[in-house]
Amino acid sequence: MGTDTLVTDGRLADLLTDYARQLARSGTADTVVLPVAREGAAEQATVLLGPASQITLTESHDDEVDDLDLPDVEAVIADLRRRLDRLAGHGGMTGNEDTDDHESHEEGFPEDEPER
C-alpha cells in the first residue's frame, strides 16, 4: 500500500478527517476533490474516503508551500459541510446523490453557493 502526501488548507484537512470519520461510521464511501499544493503549484487531488481510509494530518514546515494560494478552498469547505450535514441528517447519504446544490466530481470544484 502506497502513501501519498497532500498539502492543503488546515481547515479543509480537519473537515476532511471529520467527513472520513462519519463515512466510516455509516459504512459508506465518497470521493472529494481538493485543492492541494504540489511542487510549488496549485493542483487538484481526488481523495477516496471510506471505512478503510487511513489519513494522518501533520503541519507543513515548507514556507514556499504554506504561502501558496490554493483556489476554491472556501467553496470546498462549504461543500464538505453540506455533505456532513446531509450525512448526519439523512443517515447515510454520501454527498454523491443528485441534488441541486452538488456539482459533479468530474467538473472540478463546486461553485460557491449561498447556504440554505
Q: String of b and e for 92-113 (b: at least 16 CB within 10 Å)?
A: ebbbeeeeeebeeeeeebbeee
More confident residue, 2 or 32: 32
Q: Taking Cα atoms as reference points, which of 3, 92, 72 lies closest to residue 32?
A: 72
The mean pLDDT value for 29-53 works out to 93
Which sequence spans correspond to the domains of the chain?
Answer: 10-107
Q: Is the pLDDT of residue 104 over 50?
A: no
Give pLDDT, residue 3.
67
Give pLDDT, residue 63.
77
Query: Does the reported pTM lie above 0.85?
Result: no
